[in-house]
Amino acid sequence: MKLPKRIVIVGGGSTGWMAAAYLDAALNQPDFRVVDIAVLESPDVPRIGVGEATIPSIRHVLATIGIDEIEFLKRVDGTYKHAIKYVDWLDGKGESYYHAFGRRRLKPIDRSAEHWLRSDRSMHFSETVSAQPLLCENCIGPHPYPGSGPTPPFTYAFHMNALKFADYLCEIATSRGVTHYLDTMTDVELDESGTVRTLRTRGGLHIAGDLFIDCTGFAALLIEKRLGVDWVDCSQWLLNDRAVTIQVPYEDSYPGYVRPNTLATAVSSGWIWEIPLQTRRAWGYVFSSAYTSDSDAERELRAHIGSFADNSAARFVPFRVGYRAKSWVNNCVAMGLAAGFVEPLESTGLYLSDLAAVMLAEHFPYHDDMAPLAYRFNRIMADRFLEIVDFINLHYCLTRREDTGYWREVRRPERMHDRVRTKLDFWRSKPPGFTDFEDASFPGEPMTPMRSGGLPGDHRAPVDTAGVFGLSSYEAILYGMDFLRDECDRWYGTDRPPSQPLAQITQRLKMAQSQLPKQADWLQQVCGMPRYPVTPRP
């Protein structure tokens, strides 16, 4: 066994630098280095920052790297995130609901969902099982001021400036010994078995390595352009293929608060995100180019934001929804957009990157035989990716909107994945429960194998292991979208008692409201966020 092994990461950005910083922290010890890591970053590749939302797994990455949370928030213009709020997804008439991170469950048996289903649904389901929706409505963050004592712990994530996050990770990684080459790759040398041996650069460098990580985005310069690994298209179930983004600085528009949640509003041909940072609000319209033009999408986004956006430029971002038939081939591992992409409705963009880094650390090839490790890595990454595809598809399958051609199209039966259909059909016979994710095989589910791309590996039908979205997440979306409305009328009658929050939630909410400050106040006092004057809305 040769140690340290040489890892070469091609491409920087948040994915490349997260891989570098995480692998260095997870594998190397002060007195024993397992890997030497180099990042080759091209100065020719434009940097795109649209405001990034995350899920709670990012906290594991920060902790492993050794990043202090408050320092992190300062460096990336970060804000806290309790939940995602969905607006206009059901009927397009102003209705809303939350997918909160911190569902509280009762032990030894939890009947809170059953109690809500037996009620008149006069209160949103999420508000009966979590304090976080009302904390979001009141713009209250998850932490008290430092030194003011403990409060009930909440599960949370972050909003951030992804460009600043990449720069911060670069600073950390290079200070710990990661080599940074600012140069453009021009050639890739393979041996007769298809193993990557050396990269050549415009500046004349020959960079050899044992393991290469492709973080070159949709360009996929190693995994696709050189190794020819197929892309599996998922656009049949997720129609959107473009986004237009606008950043509005608080100098032009500060509403007087900082939301502790991401906002996702359904509009004519897709949906619009709103992500609050410490210096600005970031908006983006994720849409289908088959149902609206770039100019119409920009016009609709600007109308949604209002005249505050008049001085802000728009940027268009094309994308494709799908994944690699294999993320790890020979000694090359694809991460980030090179490995796959799902529209960011549930903020899983950075998650898939951090999962790949975590998985590679766990499956690191200390010896030369990488095939068994790649076999498991590829299976788990594909399962997790398809789990996310199904969960995003679920949001569209449950809508009742018919006001535009786009919404009529997403409701067509062929736009619902068979895996989602079998779940919904089963849950119409009994509400979802914990054991549904023990072995996620439902009556009538097709056993269609995964695409092989002509490569060896595990191609059995994917299994939903609820690694990202389990029962709590499904309940939030299903009941937020009025699932089982007609069934409950048949099961329980139409004269049902009012909805009530769990007693623990009422107590938790009172305690949080008395001890936790508004997020904007906390950020201003703890992180030095400027105190912007409030801008009246025209």
> For this structure, is 430 an active site residue?
no
| pLDDT for the residue 1 | 56
- Residue 477 · residue 105 · CB < 8 Å: no
Cα Dmax for the chain = 77
| pLDDT for the residue 463 | 84
Distances (CA, A) of 96 to 3, 85, 290, 515: 54, 7, 27, 27
Alpha helices in 184-264 (DSSP H): none
- Of 148, 18, 52, 157, whose CA–CA distance to 100 is shortest? 157
- Of 478, 453, 519, whose CA–CA distance to 117 is shortest? 478
Q: How many domains does the chain have?
A: 2
CA distance 251 to 280: 8
Same domain, 227 and 267: no
| pLDDT for the residue 172 | 98
| Domain housing 274 | 242-318
Domain assignment present for 521: no
The residue annotated as part of the active site, out of 5, 81, 85, 326, is 81
Count of alpha carbons within 13 Å of 357, Cβ hemisphere only? Answer: 28
Give the orientation angle of helix 471-480 with respect to helix 371-397, to 10 degrees. 20
Same domain, 297 and 173: no
Same domain, 253 and 288: yes
Amino acid letter for position 61: V
Our CA dihedral for 168, 172, 177, 181, rounded to 10 degrees, sits at: 0
Same domain, 226 and 327: yes
| pLDDT for the residue 332 | 98
Same domain, 202 and 304: no
Successive 10-residue mean pLDDT values, the chain, 538 residues:
87 97 96 94 82 93 98 98 98 96 77 94 95 97 88 90 97 98 97 95 96 97 96 97 97 96 98 97 97 98 95 95 96 97 95 97 93 95 95 97 97 95 94 85 80 80 86 96 95 95 92 94 98 85
| pLDDT for the residue 385 | 96
Same domain, 185 and 227: yes
Domain assignment present for 361: yes
DSSP 322-380: EEES-SEETTEEE-GGGTEE--GGGS-HHHHHHHHHHHHHHT--SSS--HHHHHHHHHH
Domain CATH for 188: 3.50.50.60
Which 8-state DSSP code applies to residue 107?
Answer: S
CA distance 142 to 157: 10
| pLDDT for the residue 439 | 75
